[in-house]
Structure 1
Amino acid sequence: MTGSPATLLRRAVGPARHEGSPRTVLLVMCTGYFLVLLDVTVVNVALPGIGADLGTDVGGLQWVVDGYALALAALMLTSGTAGDLYGHRRVVLWGLAVFGAGSLVCGLAPGVGVLVAARVVQGVGAALLLPGTLAIISRAFPDDAGRARAIGVWAGIGSLALPAGPLLGGALVDGLGWRAIFLVNVPIVLVALVWAAAIVRESGRERARRLDVPGVLLAGLLLSATTYAFIEGGRAGAGAPQVLAAVALAVLAVPALAVVERRRGDAAMLPVALLRRPVFDAANVVAGIMNLGTLGTLFVLMLFLQSVQHRSALLAGAVVIPLFAPLAVIAPFGGRITSRIGSRLPAAAGLLMAVVGLALLALAAPHSSYLVLLPAFLLWGTGMGFLTPAVVAAAISSVPAERAGLASAMNNTARQTGGAIGIAVAGAVAGQPSGGAQFIRGFHAVALGAAGLYALGAVLALVMLPGELFPGGER
């Protein structure tokens, strides 16, 4: 096969040569999800190395992580709708290509500005990719029980990236430098792109609606201004002119977004009809709390392990394996439990386990032994293993099947928005790792704050999430 990359991609998005079995389709889609999560954990391990090489502070490192998260959150809803309109297979294939291109530029970036811009490109690719994987899985497994089990597998295989990321990232950073953590994505993307093009059948398309470009722009403005306010507030103080300007933009964007979305009706990026479903809203709020606490605490934790406890990147990656491994092992089991008893109890139990684990991190000190950290990691990770498939299944099962792409996109948007804000807040609270005792106090405050939010999430799950899954979005 010859031709330019664009020509090759246009050929790839043509009809699949044959349709794979549901299990094969599930595995291919999990590969895409794996890439997205691998990039999150790999980057966290590499942050101290990036900061030292490119000469940037904690604020710059926050943008390296949040540039990806913001693009992912801002475009997730539109990409879900794009999949409904133009076919999820086509959008997933383009997502893989854009993600791979962004990864290549990240690996070659000469400075932090180019790196952040390339991370935004990666986020665009991830936004195209992520909701489509879940929508394709939902179509391959049409019954609720089978879908819930498949979502558990999706969460479990995708979550293998979480324990793999720290080890792979640590080995790459210590052996080849931080740039290798991005370049390693390129061959994986190529394999996944060819594989998906060969065996995934295109979904049906809806031509009546249009993409909500004004909604995308206003949502992006709201998320970016909010994140900028937190990050720059930590750098320059809450009263700095640029911080106040960002707050003003965020405040103005809220009513503007509400007016635009109300006028667009069913074509809106945030359809009012879906937002009137209490279970759907509750599942998305819990998903946002989950990532706000997890990614915010993880950002500060990796700085603590490397910059305060002076561990190498590889050793820091090995240290957090007990945090991520339970998520990969338990998530499929949690999916089966959800298919039998509903989302309420698995979500609440997972949140409460994570509350205890996060609270235990407040005992960590610069010279603490690993035995102090291990129980916190195990409880935190085990809780996430039960929680993740429960909130995803609750969100998707609460809407009509034909809106699965949009529902998965909205749930992931809630998670990525929470994660972006969590990283911004955590960095602002903790400050520079060189701050000594002040950084440690900030680290403890971040962990305890996340524990408090998880406790509120557990109450919401017990009150609002369903005790059983229900077909066709009946609630």
Structure 2
Amino acid sequence: MVITLDGSALNLALPTIARGLDADSAGISWVVDAYTLPLASLLLLGGSLGDRLGAARLFRVGAVGFAGASIGCALSPSIGLLVSFRAAQGVFAALLLPMVLALVGKSFADAGERSKAVNLMTVFGGAGMAAGPFLGGLLTDTTGWRAVFWLTAPVAIAAALLVAPSASERGTPGALRFDTAGQVTGTGGLVLLVSGVIELGRGTGPVFVWPLLGLGAGLMAVFVLTERRVPHPMMPMAVFGNAAFRRAVMGGFAFQFGAYGLQFFLAVHLQRVWGVSALQGGLLLVSFAIGVVLASLTLNPILSRRGTRAMTVVGASAAALATLALLFLGAEDGWPLLVLAEFLVGAGSGIYSTALNQVAGAALGAEAAGLASGIYNTARQVGQCVGIAVFGALAALADTRLGHVIAIAIVASCAAVIAATGLRRPVPAAGGG
């Protein structure tokens, strides 16, 4: 909840931060990107460390560090310090986020209880997303932008205190056998690739962008070759031989690319075409998060009895059809269609993303829960970075209608592909191994 709340609330505070710290557009972009870059690049390392050092221990380190970095952001007197503390937030979030799913896998032996826990994660994540636009606008207008960062610090500290000390503290044998070559090439490759995608979305020229992407791709190729040969790889390639896990990873990328890319596109599109304010746009789009929460509370407990396959097909199909309804969106008097379609897209996403979380957390077993969560969340975050770059470019097209149609077609296709993967062959039952 803290991670989704922080991101969704901050978006509405950015113009005020720019005025308060006398920052230009590049500086404000880095307030977002300085967090995204380490988060997307270090999740795999965080997941691997969790299996080696203990998921609960690393969760506490990540939560306390995230809270400390949030306090640093709140106290920052300059844009440079704010960007630095945002980067620290991203580093600690990369340690924290994989441990959430890993702790669920390690703490609940019963498949039914594990399924309920994963569904509850979706509820709180959706609640943070839903509350973010309202709280961000309210706090910024009444107390100031610094209150957005003060908001998350006590929640993160409370989470660190509440994690059971006995939950998987020992880690796995070989905890001190680090894959140095894999860490350097994998992290370096992701940093360069994500940086290239960020700069591509910002419209930076090809002279700078393509070398970043090329070097990143080269390092990732070296990473794959390295992981096939070292005795204790950070990411054993054999995990992708598990068909259920492989599809969950691809589904996670498509989910974050499409569903979150759509929210970014619509936020820009509504302000550009409809002329709404940032707060008005956030309120128009909040029905997406409400749909996630309500579907998780009411539909997921019922659908989970049918297994993750049924949840994937039903949820992704509903999201695809609701996305296509947005093709008929016209002028601002069409806001009821927008709110309803966004609600249904959120409901469908809340169903199938929960199924993906369950499969990713259980497919490799409890011993590799941190690794599985790290790979899965890396795919999701990279998907979001790529999505923002692609949909940002579409939102900037001179022909706004063409950009709108292409964006909707891409998002609907992502959801349709996820639904098709659920139809191919059974995946583990809800919460199952």
In the alignment, is residue 134 of structure 1 matched against residue 126 of structure 2?
A: no
The normalised TM-score by structure 2 is: 0.89
Aligned mate of 1:102, from 69, 72, 77? 69
Give 1:220-231 correspondences, 5 Å limit: 220-231=187-198
Contact 1:89 1:132 in 2 (8 A): yes
Tell me if 1:252 matches 2:213.
no
Q: Please give the residue correspondences for 1:265-414 in structure 2 after superposition, counting only pairs within 5 Å.
A: 265=231, 267-306=232-271, 308-337=273-302, 339-365=304-330, 367-414=332-379
User: What amino acid sits opposite 2:424 in the alignment?
Assistant: V
Which residue identity is paired with 1:315?
Answer: Q
Provide the rounded CA distance (Å) in 1 between the counterparts of 2:17 and 2:274.
18
Map of 1:407-446 to 2, 5 A cutoff?
Answer: 407-431=372-396, 437-438=398-399, 441-446=402-407
1:161 and 2:128 are equivalent in the alignment:
yes
Alpha-carbon RMSD across the aligned residues, in angstroms, is 2.7
How far apart are residue 283 of structure 1 and its match?
0.8
The number of aligned residues is 430
The equivalent of 2:6 in structure 1 is 39
The residue type paired with residue 452 of structure 1 is S
Structure 1 contact 334–385 (Cα < 8 Å) conserved: no
Map Cα deviations across residues 329-369 of structure 1 (whole Å, 9 max, x no partner).
Answer: 22244543454222112112211222223333344456344
2:410 to 437, 441, 449: 449
CA contact (8 A) 2:38 2:90 kept: yes
Structure 1: stretches of 5+ with no match in the other structure: 1-33
Q: Is 173-182 or 256-265 further displaced after alignment?
A: 173-182
In the superposition, relative to structure 1, how do residues 56 and 294 fare at CA in structure 2: closer, same or farther (>3 Å)? farther
Q: Residues 429 and 50 from structure 1, CA distance in 2 versus in 1: closer, same or farther, beyond 3 angstroms?
A: farther
Deviation at 1:172, TM superposition (A): 1.4
Shift of 1:289: 0.5
Given candidates 85, 104, 119, the residue that maps to 1:152 is: 119
- Worse-superposed segment, 420-429 or 384-393: 420-429
* TM-score of the superposed pair, with normalisation by structure 1: 0.82
Separation in 1, partners of 2:143, 2:79 = 19
Q: Deviations over 1:362-387 (max 9, x none)?
A: 44456344213112211111111111
Aligned 8 A contact 1:215 1:261 in 2:
yes
Q: Distance in 1 between matches of 2:263 and 2:326?
A: 11
Distance 1:86 1:236, change over 3 A: closer
Segments of structure 2 that go 5 or more residues without pairing to the other structure are none
Note if contact 1:395-1:408 (Cα within 8 Å) is conserved in structure 2.
yes
In the alignment, the residues of structure 1 paired with residue 86 and residue 36 of structure 2 have an alpha-carbon distance, to the nearest angstrom, of 9
Q: What amino acid is the match of 2:42?
A: L
User: More displaced, 277-286 or 348-357?
Assistant: 348-357
**SS of 2:427 mapped into structure 1:** coil
> Quick one: which of 244, 263, 277 aligns to 2:229?
263
Closer, same or farther: CA 366–269 of 1 in aligned 2, 3 Å: farther
CA contact (8 A) 2:293 2:347 kept: no
Would you say the 8 A contact 1:338–1:389 is kept in 2?
A: no
* Alpha-carbon distance in 2 for matches of 1:429, 1:306: 14
**Cα distance in 2, alignment partners of residues 136 and 234 from structure 1:** 35
Partners of 1:283 and 1:411 within 8 A in 2: yes
Deviations 1:45-83 (A, max 9, x none): 3345445665544x7655443432332222222222222
Change (3 A) 1:233 1:469: closer
Residue 310 (structure 1) shift: 4.1
> Following the alignment from structure 1 to structure 2, what is the Cα–Cα distance between the partners of residues 212 and 60?
35
**Mapped contact 1:144–1:397 kept (Cα < 8 A):** no
One-letter amino acid of the structure 1 residue matched with residue 223 of structure 2 = L
Q: Secondary structure at the match of 1:46?
A: helix
- For the 8 Å contact 2:65–2:92, the answer to whether it is kept is yes
Identity percentage of aligned residues: 32
In the alignment, the residues of structure 1 paired with residue 116 and residue 258 of structure 2 have an alpha-carbon distance, to the nearest angstrom, of 26
In the TM superposition, what is the alpha-carbon distance from 1:322 to its structure 2 partner?
1.3
Do the aligned partners of residues 339 and 249 (structure 1) sit closer, same or farther apart at CA in structure 2, a change above 3 Å counting?
same
223-232 vs 369-378, greater mean Cα deviation: 223-232
* Aligned counterparts of 1:48 and 1:369: Cα–Cα separation in 2: 27
Deviates more, 1:60-69 or 1:162-171: 60-69
Residue 162 (structure 1) shift: 1.4
